[in-house]
Amino acid sequence: MPSVLIVDDEANLRRMVSALLGAEGYEVREAVDGRSGIAAALESEPDVALVDLMMPGDLDGIATMTVLRERFPDLPVVMMSGKAALSDAVRATKLGAFTFLEKPLTPDGVTLALSGALDLRSARREAAALREELGLADQMVGESEAMRMLRDLIARVAPTDSRVLITGESGTGKELVAAAIHAGSARRDRAFIRVNCAAIPRDLVESEMFGHERGAFTGATERRIGRFELAHRGTLFLDEVGDLGLDAQAKLLRAIEAHEIERVGGGKAIPVDARLIAATNKDLPRAAREGAFRDDLYFRLNVIPIALPPLRDRASDIPLLVRHFSVRTRVRTGRVLPAWSDGALALLGAYRWPGNVRELANIVERLVILHPGQQIGSADVRRVIAVPETPESVRAIANGIDTAPGPLAEMLDDYERALITRALAASGGNVAEAARRLQTDRPNLYRRMRRLEIAPDVAATQGG
């Protein structure tokens, strides 16, 4: 049950609004002035606050809202007044009010404002949960040249209002880059609204993006504020924009060009001021050539392109990422941090990471949970990922063979596997030639290969 705090010195108004919201299923608390309103919020944070602009005492509505926003940054505040000038409404919204209601209040106006404010609070929490899920809240880990260039580009792009198109494979951190751009902009104190375009049913895209009026279609039992409106004066992040259908693309293009939207079932144009950031793992130029994506929309979105490198192209960042994800897992689970051997890190660096940073985060979390306070060696890594025996991986593993104490049999197996695979690679997969290089006989080499599960042609087919 959502909770609402009403701060107003008019007892009749408080009673009227409390009765209305109580009937709508809200939990309502009342306060007669700014100081008692702040005290009530500190006692139990509300989901939304309705605050009168002009109240007696040393804290008027603006001052009360300012304190509430300082204590509860995600709390939406709806301001209301019967004597305010346009300049007062503008000032209140600039200082962080979600919207401004004129008295006398109407039931539809109050319920619509609260519904939109609650949608905004939910979206803010989703964004915070997303950053936590990525495990990189407000930071990008890595000191590779690619990461230094990315940070520099974000620093130059963020202060502008230019549209940005982020491209990259799944799991490379497109959501994180979008959040970093928002955090570095003048809109940082406003909403960061994320839309997963791939997850919206095609027949609900317009309603999700632009909202709908009550009765606009079957199931529309109440008015809904769309993501564009929620992002007003903030940032709208369209994730997986390449998955939008052509009809939705046309409506998105019109909204971008006109800077206004229209709710489904409504006849009123609503101005919106939202910075647009889009992301995709698809080849949009190719999709445009094939008619699957509008080229005019692509050009509109692609004002500032940012291409994210896959993790395999910045393998030097893996030790830093492993340390970061280990600490994150410790914070979440309370598990004691393990030690990572050189051999384990070498194996992680030799892996191709098709799932990129997100996959690495999952693997690190799994290993930390399975081996708390212990040393994680190459044998432990091999149990959770299949590192191919390529010449490159063999060199990496041989150079990083575990030097810290560990199970002797496993360490010897890893080293023997690396030596045999390297010999097979050098001999083009010819077992007799590999045996000669290793100064052993062919039957003995075959026995060792069977025990270590090494195929004779692995090295030859993978770059030997």
Residue 81, pLDDT score: 86
The amino acid present at 123, given as its one-letter code, is A
Report if residue 223 sits inside a domain.
yes
Report if residue 125 sits inside a domain.
no
Cβ within 8 Å of residue 13, ≥6 positions away? 52, 103, 105
Domain end marker among 94, 119, 144: 119
What is the distance between the alpha carbons of residues 209 and 224, in angstroms, rounded to a whole number? 10
Beta bridge partners of 261: 270
| Grouped pLDDT means (10 residues each) for the chain, 464 residues | 92 93 92 92 92 87 86 88 74 81 90 88 70 52 91 94 96 92 87 88 85 79 82 92 92 92 86 94 94 95 96 92 89 86 87 92 94 88 75 53 54 74 78 86 87 64 39
Residue 390, pLDDT score: 53
Q: Give the domain CATH number at 83.
A: 3.40.50.2300
Beta bridge partners of 237: 194, 277
256 plus 231 within the same structural domain: yes
Residue 404, pLDDT score: 45
Q: Give the predicted TM-score (pTM) of the model.
A: 0.62
Residues 28, 6: contact at Cβ < 8 Å?
yes
Which domain, by its residues, includes 265? 135-309
What is the distance between the alpha carbons of residues 46 and 27, in angstroms, rounded to a whole number? 9
Report if residue 82 sits inside a domain.
yes
Residues 247, 261: contact at Cβ < 8 Å?
no
148 plus 290 within the same structural domain: yes
297 plus 358 within the same structural domain: no
Q: Total domain count for the chain?
A: 3
Report if residue 124 sits inside a domain.
no
Q: Give the domain CATH number at 163.
A: 3.40.50.300
- Kindly give the pairing relationship between strand 375-376 and strand 339-340: parallel
158 plus 242 within the same structural domain: yes
171 plus 294 within the same structural domain: yes
Report if residue 92 sits inside a domain.
yes
388 plus 400 within the same structural domain: yes
26 plus 155 within the same structural domain: no
Report if residue 248 sits inside a domain.
yes
Q: Give the domain CATH number at 323.
A: 1.10.8.60
Nearest to 305 by CA among 103, 162, 432: 162
Question: Among the residues of 201-245, which ranges form H helices?
Answer: 205-210, 227-230
Q: In b/e form, how buried is each residue of 377-397, taking b as 16+ CB within 10 angstroms?
A: bbbbbbeebebebbbebbebb
317 plus 204 within the same structural domain: no
Report if residue 128 sits inside a domain.
no
292 plus 323 within the same structural domain: no
